Structure 1
Amino acid sequence: MTSFPTRRLRRLRGTPALRRLAAEHHLVPSQLVLPVFVKEGITSSQPIASMPGVSQHPLDAIADVVDEAAAAGIGGIMIFGVPAVRDAVGSGATDPDGILNRAIAVAARAAAGRLTVQADLCLDEFTDHGHCGLLAADGSVDNDATLEVYAEMGVAQARAGADVLGLSGMMDGQVAAVRAGLDAAGFAHVAILAYSAKYASAFYGPFRDAVESTLQGDRRTYQMDPANAREGVEEALVDIAEGADVVMVKPAMPYLDVLARVSDRSNVPVWAYQVSGEYAMIEHAAAAGLIDRERAIGESLLGIRRAGADVILTYWAVEVAHWLRAGKELA
């Protein structure tokens, strides 16, 4: 007599409706955030060659970017500034008339509460040496002197209208410093997103094209060692203790194990950044006919969500939001 399986797990995979019903993890547009690059001195959007489909935008285009993102139903935009002039101390970052702070103000007016306006809080885009902090006399990054500037940046961005500040510099004590600065200036309502487990990664390459990075050398003395996972959890717990409202793991796909560990231990929301290199690999592989573009995008996002991300920063945010609203299967 033929022996048949007693458990037939395929039963719940037979149709799209059954798969939707049995899905353990879901993604909705409000869980997506779009990174946006604003470049000073340009009059039209400029495509970024290493990131097909992504552009640097002029200030005048930001309201339209916000309108498109809000119409798609995504949760927010994260703004990065590309200034025309940089100096050793990144003075454009704290200047109310600097490109990033002006872009925040434009975005906040356009958003009118329809999505969150988030701002990158780091000096790397504003310094002529490309590091995320001020340099000491010996050329090292001066952690504590940088914290004072970060606090000023936080107040400037809050004053411009940012809802969430993305602390991405990986300086020890940055959350406590910015939180204290915000609270003292009357911005206790502004949330802090801590890039807690931010690794020194090769996957940032195309992003450095996007912000026209001037970095010489690397950031391994302050960004995390890719070999370390427990340390990523510790970084997140320290940031939570200092007052972070949200913690982040970046990049996402090479560090899904870290994302899962942080998610298990965190009592605040955990976000992940699907960085430029992750985006570019899929886009270029799909353009070469090597993979199914849409399925690869969906699968990558579901993997990040499954690992524990409550929200994902992704350059596909608006496109994927339209798929989701249309009821499309992601993978």
Structure 2
Amino acid sequence: MNSGSFPEVRPRRLRATPAMRRLVAETRIDPAQLVLPLFVRDDIVEPVPLQAMPGVVQHTFDSLGAAVTEAAEAGLGGVMLFGVPADSAKDARGSGATDPDGVLNAATRVAVAEAGDALVVQTDLCLDEFTDHGHCGVLAPDGSVDNDASLERYRDMALEQARAGSQMLGLSGMMDGQVAAVRGALDAEGFDQVAVLAYAAKYASAFYGPFREAVGSTLRGDRKTYQLDPANRREGVREALLDVAEGADVVMVKPAMSYLDLVADVSASVPVPVWAYQVSGEYAMIEAAAANGWIERERAILETLTSIRRAGAEAVLTYWAVEVARSLKGL
């Protein structure tokens, strides 16, 4: 497509200035599309920094309230709460998960009171933080994770989280039938307005490492019998379709950056919103590389979030949510 020695088509015209690039950008990030994960621990008197995740802490109830206010003021879409009980409070059934005064349910009440209508308070619905063996469900006598017995625990967890005021339950355990079980329990008790976020395509990833520190994980073994095999693409779409059929309001792909093909596939396959979780290992890698001067930190953060949005995620859980939101607003 040349006229003589000159090109007839010049795509570079649309890249010529910052204003032009901004005008024609195909993918945008808004603070309302970001969700901030928050860790709350009940046996500390001040926030505890996480070594593997610079800038992230385990919160007290007091600092949680301040963090929720900060998130609301930044214009975030929501916060996702994770409870971190003392090791002495853990047992084989994860009893603390269904204690109305347990760390997660108590933290939910604090967050809901602080947030008001400014953002959506979401809660992690999984047993791993509360069990002494660290698995996402209860164990059978042979040591395997008992799918159906775990569903009974999830039903009870769902009701306690709903009573505490959670507006969206994040089902992250990857048990078969978990969405139907929780949706049925909620509806039967009059919590039909509580939304279900299904971690539909959650993979058995190496990128969860720093998260284990964040929640004080006591995991024995691995989760490969219930989380997805990283080699499988179609299976992730299948899981998402099953969750939608069971009543999921939103489906999640986790992790995000190594699974952008899944984000795109699921987005093209389901009629509900698709989110992605930019997990702890993704966060830690960028922070570590930036600390060593190997990459430009702010550019790398924004580029990764843009790639997740470009692949089809309508919202992203990210530990940089407040920082990015402020940057987008010029604060």
Fold shared by both chains (TM-score > 0.5) = yes
1:314 aligned residue (304, 312, 318) = 318
Whole-angstrom CA distance in 1 between matches of 2:213 and 2:16? 44
Q: What corresponds to 2:217 in structure 1?
A: 213
CA displacement at 1:2 relative to structure 2: 4.4
> In structure 2, what is the equivalent of residue 73 of structure 1?
75
Q: Which AA in structure 2 matches 1:195? A: Y
2:125 paired residue among 107, 117, 121: 121
Spell out, residue by residue over 1:6-27, the C-alpha distance to the aligned partner (whole angstroms, 9 max, x if none): 1100001111110011100110
2:304 to 279, 300, 316: 300
SS of equivalent residue, structure 1 residue 226 = coil
Distance 1:268 1:240 in 2: 8
2:178 is equivalent to residue 174 of structure 1: yes
For 1:21, give the aligned amino acid.
L
C-alpha separation between the residues in 2 aligned to 1:146 and 1:313? Answer: 25
Check if 1:149 corresponds to 2:122: no
From 260, 274, 277, the equivalent of 2:278 is 274
- Please report how far the alpha carbon of residue 291 of structure 1 lies from its aligned counterpart in structure 2 after TM superposition: 0.1
CA displacement, residues 246-267 of structure 1 (integer Å, 9 cap, x when unaligned):
0000000000001100000110
| CA distance in structure 1 between the partners assigned to 2:19 and 2:270 by the alignment | 33
Task: Look up the equivalent residue of 2:55 and give its one-letter code.
Answer: G
TM-score (norm 1): 0.98
Q: Percent identity?
A: 68
Match of 2:202 in 1: 198
SS of the residue aligned with 1:128?
Answer: coil
- Provide Cα deviations, 1:245-296, integer angstroms capped at 9, x if missing partner: 0000000000000110000011000000000000000000000000000000
Deviation at 1:129, TM superposition (A): 0.1
Q: Deviations over 1:285-319 (max 9, x none)?
A: 00000000000000000000000000000000000
**Number of corresponding residues:** 327
Query: Of the candidates 52, 55, 60, which is equivalent to residue 53 of structure 1?
Result: 55
Does residue 163 in structure 1 map to residue 183 in structure 2?
A: no
Return the alpha-carbon distance in structure 2 between the equivalents of residues 300 and 146 of structure 1: 35
Question: How far 1:213 sits from its partner (Å)?
Answer: 0.3
Match of 1:225 in 2: 229
What is the match of residue 247 of structure 1? 251
Instruction: Determine which of 106, 112, 115 is the counterpart of 1:111.
Output: 115
TM-score by length of 2: 0.98
- For residue 37 of structure 2, give the secondary structure of its aligned residue in structure 1: strand
Distance 2:71 2:258 in 1: 27
2:107 aligned partner, one-letter code: A
Instruction: After superposition, give the CA deviation of every residue in 1:144-166 in whole Å (9 maximum; x if it has no partner).
Output: 00001101100100100001000
> Which structure 2 segments of 5+ residues have no match?
none
Cα distance in 2 between the residues matched to 1:26 and 1:214: 39
Cα distance, 1:81 vs. partner? 0.3
Aligned residue identity for 1:145 = A
Deviation at 1:216, TM superposition (A): 1.2
The whole-number CA distance in structure 1 between the counterparts of 2:5 and 2:168 is 59
Structure 1 unaligned regions, length at least 5: none
- Structure 2 SS opposite 1:315: coil
Task: Select which of 97, 101, 108 maps to 2:105.
Answer: 101
Q: Deviations over 1:199-253 (max 9, x none)?
A: 0000000000100100011000000000000000000000000000000000000
Secondary structure in 2 matching 1:132 = coil
Secondary structure in 2 aligned to 1:37? strand
Aligned to 2:267: 263
Cα shift readout 1:53-86 (whole Å, capped 9, x = no counterpart): 0000011221111100000000000000000120
Partner SS, residue 251 of structure 2: strand
Please give the alpha-carbon distance, in whole angstroms, between the structure 2 residues aligned to 1:239 and 1:18.
Answer: 41
The RMSD of aligned alpha carbons is 0.8
